């Protein structure tokens, strides 16, 4: 009797797609605030996910220890320096110190590279801080002459020629002024785009603003997230177009030749 040897197909488990229907919303520690994490690490303060604000809800006074990104999807957030509105990326540099309030129902995609300090508030409810890894501390503003936010209209950035056909890249932030050499870029992929295969040397985090893309066979759609771990061989394509923001922590390694980096290194 002949025994057939079954091929073993190893499913790629180092690409994690969280579409909007799979996000789990939890109330944060102040009224009218909620968060839905796609990825978080409360020890390091790293976070990727959505934040929601009801009108007249506020974050409370806090200080960013590391860089923070808030891409505003609807509404806006106001602090003493002004308002960041829909379509803008609000960036808080290390040391940024403020209290932000929403006057409209507001939704944002957020990425934190480190913890956030909250001014102690005895009335605070026993629930997670709005920011992952939030911790209580007293502080002063180390750079009072600098704005606590840089607000960038993403579609207003001149797109950069990209080495991959069908992809336009807008470099939002090159992390200068932080301890990291990462890149935050927006990519537009026209329908039918096939990115040549590459391998990651460090994590890549993605928020899909509109349309959708397939990453190793998993479809990430508008309102969804994707986390790609280091050391992953990636097939990345879009059949019907995609508009996304990505945080990449090292240049990718192209598997079929030399070309410039996809995310702007
Ligand atoms: Fe903030």
Domains observed in the chain? 23-154 (2.60.120.10), 157-254 (2.60.120.10)
34 CA from centroid of ligand 1 (Å)? 15
Distance from C-alpha of 24 to C-alpha of 106, rounded to nearest angstrom: 17
132 CA from centroid of ligand 1 (Å)? 12
188 CA from centroid of ligand 1 (Å)? 27
Residues with Cβ within 8 Å of 155's Cβ and at least 6 positions away in sequence, in order, are 87, 170
Distance from C-alpha of 235 to C-alpha of 226, rounded to nearest angstrom: 13
Distance from C-alpha of 102 to C-alpha of 83, rounded to nearest angstrom: 9
Segment holding 216, helix H or strand E: none
Q: Which residues of 216-228 are buried (b: 16+ CB within 10 A; e: fewer)?
A: beeebebbbbbbb
Q: Which two tokens stand for residue 249?
A: 């922590």
Q: How many CB atoms lie within 10 A of CB 6?
A: 6
92 CA from centroid of ligand 1 (Å)? 6
Distance from C-alpha of 16 to C-alpha of 229, rounded to nearest angstrom: 8
Distance from C-alpha of 248 to C-alpha of 215, rounded to nearest angstrom: 15
117 CA from centroid of ligand 1 (Å)? 10
DSSP state of 154: G
33 CA from centroid of ligand 1 (Å)? 13
Distance from C-alpha of 80 to C-alpha of 229, rounded to nearest angstrom: 38
pLDDT at 162: 86
Sheet strands (E) in 157-238: 167-173, 183-189, 193-199, 204-215, 218-221, 225-228, 233-238
Distance from C-alpha of 124 to C-alpha of 77, rounded to nearest angstrom: 21
228 CA from centroid of ligand 1 (Å)? 26
pLDDT at 205: 98
In which residue ranges of the chain is pLDDT below 70?
1-13, 124-126
pLDDT at 233: 96
Nearest CA to 232 out of 202, 212, 261 is that of 202
171 CA from centroid of ligand 1 (Å)? 22
Q: How many CB atoms lie within 10 A of CB 115?
A: 24
pLDDT at 9: 44
pLDDT at 3: 47
229 CA from centroid of ligand 1 (Å)? 27
35 CA from centroid of ligand 1 (Å)? 14
Cα torsion 150, 113, 16, 196: sign: positive
Q: How many CB atoms lie within 10 A of CB 122?
A: 4
91 CA from centroid of ligand 1 (Å)? 9
């Amino acid at each position: 009797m002949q025994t057939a040897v079954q091929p073993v197909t190893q499913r790629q488990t180092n690409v994690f797609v969280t579409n909007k229907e799979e996000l789990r919303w939890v109330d944060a520690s102040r009224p009218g605030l909620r968060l839905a994490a796609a990825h978080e690490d409360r020890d390091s303060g790293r976070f990727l996910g959505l934040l929601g604000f009801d009108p007249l809800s506020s974050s409370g006074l806090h200080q960013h220890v590391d860089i923070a990104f808030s891409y505003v999807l609807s509404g806006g957030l106001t602090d003493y320096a002004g308002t960041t509105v829909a379509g803008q990326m609000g960036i808080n540099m290390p040391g940024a110190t403020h209290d932000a309030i929403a006057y409209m129902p507001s939704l944002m995609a957020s990425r934190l590279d480190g913890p956030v300090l909250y001014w102690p508030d005895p009335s605070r409810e026993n629930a997670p801080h709005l920011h992952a890894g939030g911790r209580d501390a007293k502080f002063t503003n180390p750079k009072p002459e600098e704005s606590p936010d840089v607000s960038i209209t993403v579609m207003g950035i001149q797109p950069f020629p990209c080495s991959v056909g069908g992809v336009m890249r807008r470099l939002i932030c090159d992390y200068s002024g932080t301890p990291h050499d990462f890149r935050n870029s927006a990519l537009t992929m026209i329908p039918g785009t096939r990115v040549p295969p590459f391998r990651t040397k460090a994590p890549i985090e993605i928020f899909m603003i509109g349309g959708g893309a397939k990453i190793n066979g998993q479809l990430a759609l508008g309102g969804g997230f994707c986390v790609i771990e280091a050391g992953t061989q990636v097939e990345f394509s879009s059949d019907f177009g995609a508009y996304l923001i990505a945080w990449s922590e090292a240049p990718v390694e192209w598997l079929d030749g030399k070309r410039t980096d996809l995310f702007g290194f």
